[in-house]
Amino acid sequence: MGFSRIGVVLLCVSAIGCTTSPDLPSTSNNVLSVLEPGEQVKANQVSQKRDRVVQVQGQIKAQAPLMGGQRAYEVQDETGSVWVVSDRTVPATGSRVSVQGRVKFQKIEIGGKDQSSVYIEQQ
């Protein structure tokens, strides 16, 4: 009787341990970004790093609210500037920051002219 109880417990633990959580994808980008910090780049290099995790340091030059509670802010270093989209609280304009996130590309066409933009989605 004791053996069958232990067998049932081990079976349940094994079954639980082998499944993935419905809230955590099996290949979570968040886990990878913690284990592999973003490549440190200058603002003028961000456009060459699409879909990669990067880290940029600089000074906040401007901010703008976005829909859905997100904010966008512009980080400027000695080479140029890049916009960052975040759902976090943004430090005041003029603050020095170090930002890590995934480089994204947004195709935008206004009046037949290409206004596409590269930005960092903060992690």
pLDDT, tens digit, 9 for 90 and up, residues 93-103: 999 999 999 99
pLDDT, tens digit, 9 for 90 and up, residues 100-123: 999 999 988 888 898 889 999 998
What per-residue confidence (pLDDT) applies to 10?
Answer: 34
What is the reported pTM?
0.68
One-letter identity of residue 44: N
pLDDT, tens digit, 9 for 90 and up, residues 76-91: 999 999 999 999 999 9
105 DSSP β-pair partners: 118
Q: Could you tell me the CA-to-CA distances from 9 to 3, 18, 69 in Å, in that order?
A: 10, 14, 45
Domains delineated in the chain? 2-122 (2.40.50.140)
Instruction: Please state the φ and ψ torsions of residue 87, each to the nearest 5 degrees.
Output: -105, 10
